[in-house]
Structure 1
């Protein structure tokens, strides 16, 4: 079935106001039209209507930052104090021999967790030479596969990335300011200015990182470098991680996805917004690592603002509904009644924007890919945005990427062949 109409009690385009008793026309995997059900059925008589129910049809969630390959490390993490206390344990775990099957099983289980919580797009960090890629290619998820780059693997990294096509595209991901020396970061910027492919980086995550870029005594050089046999390297002094990052070659028109951004100043957030850089916040991970909550008050007006669960080494699970609720609770402290709409925006169109995919996904607009989810919301809040936030995986009725059904609940009248 190449052309069909999905109807629901409410259609939540995200880019525009909610529509009651509305439908979406899908053809060849793309959204063609959004309108009231009665008008759409009259205009397209003869096209099959699939009645999803009285719940909400909205864009699929964008989990903009994950490390699915690290699922197995959760069982290796014990009690710790602070960011470097956790990092020491992770390094020791990753330093021991691990079977490829253990890593690929983590990716497969992670994919199931994503789909079962309404995710249709993922920003995945690939740390093991692409073991996750074949699984993600088969998953049907729209994927930005960030190839992790560190000082230790720079020599075997091809920086000539090309713009992606289809559901999966690869981009560079220099790990962090403390794991990539200035020469590597400047090389990355030169490649970016040449090929235009967006890139990502962990930035401004912890107090330890702040001390590192200030060239003060810090636990990263004091504890982590000796643990991995890494020599300290010369670097320019900066007052903040973002300031340090800027010195590496940041210029107008650059497209970078900045992950975490906990230790950021107000004027830096304003500059990030002006430059159109993407930010992905991982609130549960930040609290788990004891680095504090991101400065939500600075980010309320940023359009390219997304949400990520991070990895199972820094989170209890990969349930995007739970991450969305944590995000909303923190954002509501500074945005009040506007927080629910902004939170759903961050979970969809904002996340797509943070990954520079807003031309393909993130909202229900004609011409975009049919990346859609349906949530049954009986008895939930009157406000549709709050209804989405308060929902759980149990209420998820359908997950679709580019018109392909990845999941459907029993009772949803949707053919597998769609």
Structure 2
């Protein structure tokens, strides 16, 4: 298979006119050559933090504070999840996953509520959808064993020492929310030696120093943080210290569109487009050991082909900025997986 156009090649997303050669689902070469294509070929997205179960309650809870919306065990989302049937939750999740597939997301890192049953539900929702999910079970060690790892709510909610030890013994990733409301839960979260932190809206200088020293990656979800009124993360400072990936967080609050998340991060955070595209692709892949997120030999051929000649993108002078700051699902020409 050959995909032609302006190829955003390698970790720097250097735009080259040419084609990507794919064999058996793997990129085997990127060849520079003249083409007649307006397409922009880039890596498909890795959404590094989702709560897809919230798909049953889109735009519920307007005006509520963060704890009222999502804090376990009785935040609005948890009450709505308990009230919904398995069939309702699975159908809603499948619809969100189909939208993610159509809008260029190849993989997601899902914090899955509901224990073992919740892990089973997302697996069933994924049936027939071309999105790979790294599922992090929550609430019990048994859920972690059924899933790909453990996703902790936050150190202020519970002592996760036992869950961390079990996850480490299982050789699986351990992610934890931290620094979303304020800085008080960042140190106890870091004490758990997590695989990665989520949010980190309110780090103190000492936390930034420790994140850098200990090499802890961070997943930021700036649209979610703005909606819940906790502020926005210091993305530029975090990028200077560690690997930063991008997630869309609760489907209850925002659509799982990486196009929207990238545009918001780039424009509100004042971040270079190449940094944002790395956050939305390879950084999320590397976070959980996925072999995608870059266009280079040996990587999985999870590719997003955008119509650079669309009414929206025609005339764009910088293809990376066009993808990050301007493109949307209507510009998607083709998904290669």
Q: Could you tell me the TM-score, scaled by structure 2's length?
A: 0.88
Q: Give, in angstroms, the shift of residue 364 of structure 1.
A: 0.9
Counterpart-to-counterpart distance in 1, 2:36 and 2:216: 37
Alignment of 1:146-185 (within 5 A): 146-149=136-139, 154=140, 157=142, 160=145, 170-180=148-158, 182=159, 185=160
Q: 1:377 is matched with which residue?
A: 308
Larger Rg: 1
Q: Aligned to 2:299, what secondary structure does the other structure show?
A: coil
Instruction: Identify the residue that residue 25 of structure 1 maps to in structure 2.
Output: 21
Shift of 1:22: 1.3
Shift in alpha-carbon separation, 1:158–1:374, aligned structure 2, 3 A? closer
Q: Where does 1:69-218 land on structure 2 (aligned, <5 Å)? A: 69-74=53-58, 76-80=60-64, 82-87=65-70, 88-95=75-82, 97-128=83-114, 129=117, 130=119, 131-149=121-139, 154=140, 157=142, 160=145, 170-180=148-158, 182=159, 185-207=160-182, 210=183
Q: Do the aligned residues in 1 keep the contact of 2:136 with 2:144 (CA within 8 Å)?
A: no
Name structure 2 gaps, 5 residues minimum. none
Give the Cα–Cα distance (whole angstroms) in 2 for the partners of residues 178 and 270 of structure 1. Answer: 21
Can you list the C-alpha shifts for 1:193-217, whole angstroms capped at 9, x where unaligned? 433321211111113xx4xxxxxxx
Contact 1:14 1:349 in 2 (8 A): no
* Inter-CA distance 74–138: structure 2 relative to 1 (3 Å threshold): same
Equivalent residue number for residue 281 of structure 1? 220
Q: Is the 8 A contact 1:198 1:356 kept in 2?
A: no
Distance 2:144 2:95 in 1: 30
Unaligned runs of 5+ in 1: 39-50, 162-168, 211-239, 402-418
CA separation in 1, counterparts of 2:289 and 2:241? Answer: 14
Cα RMSD, aligned residues only: 2.2
Moved over 3 A (4+): 158-161
Match of 2:49 in 1: 65
- Judged with a 3 Å threshold, the aligned counterparts in structure 2 of structure 1 residues 381 and 275 are, in CA distance, closer, same or farther, namely farther
Q: Is the 8 A contact 1:53 1:376 kept in 2?
A: no
For residues 248-259 of structure 1, the aligned pairs below 5 Å read 248=192, 250=193, 256-259=195-198
For 1:52 and 1:137, locate their aligned partners in 2 and report how far apart those are by CA, in whole Å. Answer: 37
1:137 positional shift: 4.4
What is the CA-CA distance between 1:78 and the residue it aligns to?
A: 3.4
Q: 1:246 aligns with which of 190, 214, 227?
A: 190
Partner of residue 36, structure 1: 32
How far did residue 15 of structure 1 move?
1.0
**Structure 2 counterpart of 1:297:** 236
SS at match of 1:293: coil
Matched pairs, number = 324
Q: Is the 8 A contact 2:306 2:333 kept in 1?
A: yes
Please name the residue that 1:412 is paired with: none
Compare 105-114 and 133-142 and name the one that shifted more: 133-142
What's the counterpart of residue 227 of structure 1?
none
Query: Is the CA contact (8 Å cut-off) linking 2:56 and 2:92 kept in structure 1?
Result: yes
Aligned equivalents of 1:52, 1:173: Cα separation in 2: 46
Which of 392, 410, 418 in structure 1 is aligned with 2:328? 392
Paired residues of 1:380 and 1:387 also in contact (CA < 8 A): no
Conserved 8 A contact 1:52-1:374 = no
